[in-house]
Every structure is written in C-alpha cells, then in structure tokens.
Homo-oligomer: A and B are copies of this chain.
C-alpha cells in the first residue's frame, strides 16, 4: 500500500524520546527525534547533507545534533551552525528538513507533508491515556512488524477474525450469537461487534474480570482514524446486564508505516478493574503480546507473502458484509492518496 504524508503519524511514545538522538523511519522518511533542555521535541531529517551519514549516530551538543562522521552540527531549525574544520565556513545549502511535531496523550506525532497543513487539532485524541486515576496500564509497546500497514488495518477493522485467531487469548469461540455493525462519524469509522450469553474469553477469566461459570455479553467498538489509528473499547458484563455493570479492557492500536511493507505497531492496553494488582497487569501484557505477536502477526504475514506485492483490489477479493468497515477505511485512504498524488502532480506541473 502506498504511504500518506499529509497525516499525523505516531512517531514514538513520549517516554522513548529524551536528550539522546532517537531515530525512527516513517513512511520511508528517516526521522531524528530528541528533546531540548526544556523538554520540547525536535524532529529533523536524520540524514546529514554532507556525506549522508545518519545523524542519530552522532550526539546532542547544547541542543544541537552533531554528525558522528565529520562533526557538522545542526540546530533545531535544521540549519547547519558549526563546521569544525578549516576556517569553519558553513555552506548555505547545509541544512536538514525540520518536521512539524506534537506531543499529545503520551504520544509524539510527526507530520511529513506540507507543513502549512499540519493542524495539531487534527491529531486523534486518546484522553484515556492520561487517566491514571481510572485505569491501570500495560507498557507502551512498539512492535516492529514485517507487515504492510493496510493489512493490519484489515485485521483490526474486521473483528470477526477473533474467534478464529484468538480463541485462546482475547476472543470467544466461533459460532456464537454475534452482531456486527458499522458506524460513521464524519471521516471516522467505527466497527462494532457484540456477543451474547457465552462463557467469557480467556483474557477475562485470567484477569479476574469474569469467571468461567457466569455467561457474559461483550462489547467491542473499534474506532478508526486515518491512516491507521485505532481505539478499541471492549468490555464484558454478566449476560443481560448493562455496560455500567461491566469491566473494560480497552486498547490503543496505532499503525505507523515504516515502508510499504513494514510497520511500527504501537499499542497500550488498560483496565478499570483489579486496579493495583501487578499479577493482573502481567497477565494483561502476556495475553495481548501473544495475541498480536503470535496469533495476528504470522497470519497477516502469510497473507502478505501470498499477495506477493500485488494490489489488493486487482486481486479481486471476495467481499463479505463483515468487511464493510475495512472497505470504508480503504476507500477513504484511496481518496487521500489520490489527493496527495494530484497535488504532487500539480506541484510538478507548476514548477
């Protein structure tokens, strides 16, 4: 799948970036992140314009990045401000691109496209990540995945896969009574799934949110924002009860493409029950990691290998009603990609 530039991409969890150089490749661009003394984030292109060394192999000196190959220094605006050799002349052309960057809800976001369009208000909100009084959190994970971002999107927007991939961890067994729905809210898509009157899935009994003896109803509401930013609200309640009697175990899933074929998979899970119990937190980490790494990843990778670089639509996929949310998202992404391609063509025509 092609890659979007005029969107906010999650670049890192807040705690990943400090006063040392931190590098991450996003949509084929090499990004250098670091914090200045006051804590504000700098996002620069990570390639020295002199001999193309990755700048993150150098070090931060007085809030500036010093290249580790020949010692040129660049400030937080990307300007080369120091050449240690000869008379110290600095060519005007010696500069690196600076990216709009924002820190919000414990995540750091970067904008790779036209800086004039980088509206921080457009960053999807995750207020729960700040609600430490209400929730106990797993770690902030970043899994490097050999997976195309759109295939992870298909996975997350069609929750019916749970019964087949995750019956030992997150999901109920197949052939339950379930309901799936789609909801739109502007450009935002919700994929909804409910199950009724069944033994609770393994993660719920393992975390003590339910017991195997009492049947439960579950709600799963997956919220999608372009390009691949997800919030999954999920919970269980004794069958017939309302959500106010339920326990919730929501997860943030954010997929940031590294390349067309590889992705960074950010996730954090949290719960509003069994608070303060570190054993339950361990179980939560273990089940989620197993589900995403050992159950989703190999299947999605197998799909990617089977597609062998071919376009999704050209492969003429069979469409089921349960694909509706993923199809809506794919159409919106296609539109955004077309807009970027048109702008690039227009820019090229004008120049």
Chain A residues close to B by CB (< 8 Å): 30, 47, 49-54, 57-58, 67-71, 80, 83-87, 89, 91, 93-94, 154, 158, 160-161, 163-165, 174-175, 178, 180, 299, 302-303, 306-307, 315-322
Contact = CB atoms under 8 A, between A and B. Distances in A.
B57 A299 contact: yes
B85 A322 contact: yes
Contacts of A321: 85-87, 89
Copies in the complex: 3
Contacts of A178: 85
Contact of A306 (B54, B68, B94): B54
Given A91-B318, A91-B319, A321-B85, A161 B50 contact: no
Given A86-B322, A322-B70, A53 B317 contact: no
Nearest to A326: B51
Given A318-B91, A321-B89, A164 B69 contact: yes
Contacts of A316: 49, 93
Please report whether the interface of chain A is mostly helix, strand, loop or mixed according to DSSP: loop
A152 to B, nearest CB: 12
Of A68, A84, A93, A175, most B-chain CB atoms within 10 Å: A84
Given A86-B180, A174-B84, A302-B57, A317 B164 contact: no
Contact of A85 (B51, B80, B180): B180
A52 B86 contact: no
A303 B85 contact: no
A161 B320 contact: no
13 contacts: A30-B306, A47-B306, A50-B318, A50-B320, A52-B307, A67-B164, A71-B160, A71-B163, A80-B318, A84-B160, A85-B320, A85-B322, A89-B320
B317 A51 contact: yes
B302 A161 contact: no
Nearest to A92: B318
A49 B318 contact: yes
